[in-house]
A and B are shown apart, each in its own frame.
Chain A
Amino acid sequence: MINAVGRDIPEEVMAATGRDIFRGTYVNDNKEYTKAAPTVRAVCDPKRSKMVASIREAIEKCGLKDGSTVSFHHHFREGDYIVNMVMTEIHEMGLKDITVCASSLGKAHDAIVPFIEDGTITSIYSSGVRGKIGEAISNGKLKNIAVMYSHGGRVRAIEEGRIHIDAAFIGAPTADEYGNLRANGGKSNCGVLSYAYADAQYADKVVAITDTLVPFPNIPASISMVNVDYVCVVDEIGNPNKIATGAAKPTTDLRKLLMAQYCTDFVVAAPYYKDGFVYQTGVGGASIASTIYLAEKMRKDNIHMSLGLGGIATPMVRLMEEGLIGKLVDTQDFDLGAVESIQAHPDRHIEITGSEYANPMNKGAYVNKLDYVILAALEVDTHFNCNVITDSTGLITGAQGGHPDTAAGAKCTIVISPLVQGRSPAVCTDVTTVTTPGETVDVVITDYGIAVNPARPDLMEAAKNCGAPLYTIEELRDIAYSIVGEPRKIKFGEKVVGIVEARDGTIIDVVRQMQEYVFDD
């Protein structure tokens, strides 16, 4: 069936995954539903300890069996040890058909690929995958169809009961023996535990894994003891150098600086640039450069941001410290400056849950309050659809993250990308994989100029006045093709290896198995 972004979703994939096709970003507004609930085992005897001696003991006490679902958070980013430790133990116990429900998976988890190949893991839900897991899925090695959801979509899936987590394994930089978990104060600090909150609330069993056991009470806690069944101490939960790196050096790439300037000039010309605006940006070179340019304008114009949202990095922290940003509302810390800031500024730098951030089916998330979001994309097409997960060979190598959530929520969604990267045109006729629907993307900014979605005539005035060269999206594509040539479509195999879930759990696109390229003759 053809969905609202024109993708043909095979009916057998809809049947196999039990999902409808994507019918539009806002079709569920006002929908009533009943949330799921976990099965809880009460702790009313004060003498009972929650401490377990090993991950093995925790898994046994959780009663995991073949077919169980386990969950993980990704706040330790590429420094995470938790997923590999738990999955290795599950593998050694001989369990099969396990579903891994992660907020995201990356190269740190290459070690679980053999467990995909031998049937220990047969389903994966994740924001995205990189590294060898991406290769394994793209090459058809996972038994079931992988599901890639956004950060908000994941919380929705858990809260709706679409995914039921049997046991959540929550890596915690500090924990007390009763399961109060904090993201700071330990050896491997990650700043916040936002994405683990839904797991703690909705999983039947919750296991805290820490390398720093601290005296009771470890408060204020990101995850409360009322939701934690067991506490396990291990030597190391992660590699601190890969969890929170030093701040990225400001880019000197002239293309990125030019895009940053176009982006800021547009933001300032657009109608939402006024005192108290709400803003989110990423951590790419151009995004950080835009933040720095924007700060110069804000100082000059005496305009302040009331709230900076989302994944936080040092440049946004500095603006808050300078008083240009009122509050930082944080779901993930991308560097050491952000981790330090949330400890230093508890009044102004606030941890929120994944649901508060981006869940489309709660009673209103922070993304809905965004004036601007600045996003990157691998590809954006003439329908303004974006691809953030598959590369030029068809390999799954990225994650949705909050891309579709923030795009849907923001009054002005800006996608920023160099017009060509290597030989790949960033603006094309049709993206390989749709992750973010074009109806939620308003402006595309490249190093050659900018284009406004014709669905947003109200932004044309700003685009004309901002000083950046203004094109139609088709013209931008034609410039790209004039440099690199018109690309052929990637040839995939027949087998569907993954679905891209829209925020509401419908199928916005499928990813098929990769195929070796064969020349025409």
Chain B
Amino acid sequence: MELLHAASAGTMESSDALVTVSPAENGISLSITSPVIHQYGEQIKKVVLERLEALEVKNAEITVVDKGALDCTLKARVEGAVFRACDAADAGIPWGGAVK
């Protein structure tokens, strides 16, 4: 998917994450902050990158302000931010496809 503009999803509440994506030129650049980064930093990174790949996002700048979210929450927030950034949040969500 091609990002059209910056968008975000999520909150700064405990057990959530605020994910912000914006269009970029050269691949994926990812920044993560988290209170559990030592324990789960690699896992958070893996989940985010897998989601971007599944949604076929090739170029994006993505910031994850994690507040201890579980993987399922992280996935949902990444998807939400990407679909909003592609103006696909109202009609274009591939339920049962890339989004399960």
Q: Does B41 contact A (CB under 8 A)?
A: yes
Contact residues in A for B69 (Cβ distance below 8 Å): 423
Q: Could you tell me the distance in whole angstroms from the C-beta of B88 to the nearest C-beta in chain A?
A: 29
Are A490 and B39 in touch, CB under 8 angstroms? yes
Give A465-503 as 1s and 0s: 1 = Cβ < 8 Å from B's Cβ atoms.
Answer: 000000000000000000111011111000000000000
Say whether A519 faces chain B, with CB atoms less than 8 Å apart: yes
Contact A488 B14 (CB under 8 A): no
A240 to chain B, nearest CB (A): 31
Residues A392 and B39 in contact, CB atoms below 8 Å apart? yes
A428 to chain B: closest residue by CB:
B39
Contact yes or no, A485 B41, CB < 8 A: no
* Whole-angstrom CA separation of A41 from B69 in the bound complex: 60
| Contact in complex: A423, B45 (CB < 8 Å) | no
Main secondary structure of the interface of A (DSSP, over half): loop
A517 CA / B45 CA spacing, docked (Å) = 13
**Given the contacts A424-B68, A483-B70, A484-B70, A517 and B15 also touching, CB distance less than 8 Å:** no
The yes or no answer to A520 lying at the interface (CB within 8 A) is yes
Q: A483-B70, A484-B70, A519-B45 known; A424 and B38 CB under 8 Å?
A: no
CB-defined interface of B33-65 with A at 8 Å, one 1/0 digit per residue? 001111111110100000000000000000000
In the complex the two chains form, is B42's CB within 8 Å of A487's CB? no
In the complex, are the beta carbons of A422 and B68 less than 8 A apart? yes
Residue in contact with A393 in the complex, picked from B14, B37, B43, CB distance below 8 Å: B37
- The reply to whether A392 and B42 form a contact with Cβ atoms under 8 Å apart is no
A404 within 8 Å of B (CB atoms): no
Distance in angstroms from B37 CB to nearest chain A CB is 4
- Are A394 and B38 in contact, CB atoms less than 8 angstroms apart? yes
Cβ contact within 8 Å between B70 and A392? no
Task: Tell me the complex Cα distance, A489–B37, Å.
Answer: 10
Chain A residues positioned under 8 Å from B68 (CB to CB): 421-424
In the assembled complex, which residues on chain A have CB atoms less than 8 Å from the CB atom of B39?
Answer: 392, 423-424, 487-490
Which residues of chain A are within 8 angstroms of B15 by Cβ–Cβ distance?
A: 422-423
B42 A520 Cβ-Cβ under 8 A: yes
Q: Is the CB of B38 within 8 A of A485?
A: no
CB distance from B44 to the nearest CB of A (A): 9
* Interface range for B: 10 to 19
Bound Cα distance A387, B71 (Å): 26
Pairwise interchain contact A517-B37, C-beta atoms closer than 8 A: yes
Q: List the B side residues contacting A424 at CB < 8 Å.
A: 36, 39, 68
Q: In the complex, what distance in Å separates the CA atom of A423 from the CA atom of B66?
A: 10
List residues of chain B with CB within 8 A of the CB of A489: 38-39
In the complex, which residues of chain A have a beta carbon less than 8 angstroms from the beta carbon of B37?
393, 517
Q: How far is the CB of A439 from chain B (nearest CB, A)?
A: 26
User: Distance in Å from the Cβ of A492 to the closest Cβ of chain B?
Assistant: 9
- Pairwise interchain contact B35-A393, C-beta atoms closer than 8 A: yes
**Does the CB pair A488–B71 fall under 8 Å?**
no
Contact with A along B13-47 (1 / 0, CB 8 A): 01100000000000000000001111111110100
**By CB atoms of chain A within 10 A, which of B35, B38, B42, B71 has the most?**
B38
The verdict on A392 contacting B36 (CB below 8 Å), with A422-B15, A424-B68, A484-B70 known, is: yes
Q: How far is the CA of A511 from the CA of B3 in the complex (A)?
A: 45
Chain B residues near A520 (CB, 8 Å)? Answer: 42
Please report which residues of chain A, range 392-434, place their CB below 8 angstroms from some CB of chain B when the two chains form the complex.
392-394, 421-424
Residues of B within 8 A of A392 (CB): 35-36, 38-39
Whole-angstrom distance between the alpha carbons of A483 and B43 in the complex? 13
Contacts of B45 in A (CB 8 A): 519
Residues of chain B within 8 A of A487, CB atoms compared: 36, 39-40
Task: Report the nearest B residue to A518, measured CB to CB.
Answer: B41
**Which residues of chain A are near B42, meaning CB under 8 Å?**
488, 519-520
Contact of B40 among A391, A423, A491 (CB under 8 A): A423
A489–B36 CA distance with the chains assembled, in angstroms: 10
Min CB–CB distance A516 → chain B (angstroms): 9
Question: Once the chains bind, are A423 and B38 in contact (CB under 8 Å)?
Answer: no
94-119 of chain A: CB within 8 A of chain B: none
Contact of A485 among B14, B35, B43, B67 (CB under 8 A): B43
Bound state CA distance, A422 and B13, in angstroms? 10
Nearest Cβ on chain B to A128's Cβ, whole angstroms:
19
The CA-CA distance from A393 to B70 in the complex, in Å, is: 17
A423 pairs with B41, CB closer than 8 A: no
> What are some 23 contacts across the A-B interface (CB < 8 A)?
A392-B36, A392-B38, A394-B38, A422-B36, A423-B36, A423-B39, A423-B40, A423-B70, A424-B39, A424-B68, A483-B70, A485-B40, A485-B43, A487-B36, A487-B40, A488-B38, A488-B40, A488-B42, A489-B39, A490-B38, A517-B41, A519-B41, A519-B42
Besides A422-B15, A490-B39, A519-B41, 10 more A-B contacts (Cβ < 8 Å) are A392-B39, A421-B68, A422-B36, A423-B68, A424-B68, A489-B38, A489-B39, A519-B42, A519-B45, A520-B42
Interface positions of A (Cβ within 8 A of B): 391-394, 421-424, 483-485, 487-491, 517, 519-520
The 7 closest A-B pairs by CB, nearest first: A422-B68, A487-B39, A423-B68, A490-B38, A517-B37, A423-B36, A392-B36
